[in-house]
Amino acid sequence: MKKVKGAYLLTFFVIVLLALLLHVNLINTLYGVNGNQASDNNNLRESNFKKEGDLLEARRAGRLEEGEVLTEAVIIEKTDLFIETLVQEINEDYSVINYSSKEQLYELFDGIATRESVKPYLDFYYQELDDSIYILPTELPPWFVVGVPYEVTESANGTFVVFQETVTDLHGPYKIEIEFAYNDNWEIIRINHFNEEVYPGSTDII
């Protein structure tokens, strides 16, 4: 009888001990998961805080207002408008039909490109003579090609530089850089491009 009672007591203590061990293990597991989750949540909050801080700083710098994102649509629009404006309707003698001075052509580029970036092109392609302007009958410069990969990098002063390397039948292999700046509107402010065969190592615009 004593042996049976002792066996019961031993079994009881073993069950109690196992229950305690399971309880402790369960608590550790739960607290461990919750601890990791809390840590992850803290890291997420910290990350979001840093991002929000960066965004706030950028807004204070005036760089994240609506419309200040240089999208592919903006790049295509401005580069297309540049070339369309550069090529004017002409008479048989190559005189421009609708305008009589370079100054009028400069005004056409308002909102597309700065005067400084346009000047080399107007100086090269157009000549003023006797109250008329004449276009040089030659091919257009190597230009941004839609559908060809390109890179966009932000400069230290907050402008964006579009870089593209491509090949065309007319110009062969070439590289082009077009710099954009935002001041109430995206404008082209600088253009560098060269044909590697004709202008090796050159950054001449034309």
Q: Check whether 51 has a pLDDT greater than 50.
A: no
List, in sequence order, the alpha helices (H) in 92-186: 102-108, 115-125
pLDDT for res 89: 97
Q: Check whether 38 has a pLDDT greater than 80.
A: no
Q: What percent of the chain has pLDDT over 90?
A: 56
Q: Could you report the per-residue pLDDT of 80-110, keeping only the tens digit for each?
A: 999 999 999 999 999 999 999 999 999 999 9
Residue 161 to residues 72, 90, 101, 177, 180: CA-CA distances in angstroms?
A: 12, 33, 31, 7, 6
Name the residue with higher pLDDT: 5 or 136.
136
pLDDT for res 76: 98
Name the residue with higher pLDDT: 50 or 25.
25
Average pLDDT over residues 14-34: 46
Average pLDDT over residues 175-204: 77
CA distance 70 to 90: 34
- Domain range annotation of the chain: 1-64, 70-206
pLDDT for res 201: 43
CA distance 136 to 138: 6
Burial string for 40-79 (b: 16+ CB within 10 Å, else e) reads eeeeeeeeeeeeeeeeeeeeeeeeeeeeeebeeebbeebb
163 confidence band (pLDDT: 50, 70, 90): very high
β-strands 132-135, 151-154 pairing: unpaired
68 confidence band (pLDDT: 50, 70, 90): confident
CA distance 119 to 104: 13
CA distance 141 to 139: 7
Query: Reduced to 3 states, what is the DSSP secondary structure of residue 133?
Result: strand
CA distance 135 to 125: 5
Tokens standing for residue 175: 């590289």
Name the residue with higher pLDDT: 204 or 201.
204
CA distance 196 to 75: 24
Say which CATH topology domain 70-206 has.
Nuclear Transport Factor 2; Chain: A, (3.10.450)
pLDDT for res 193: 80
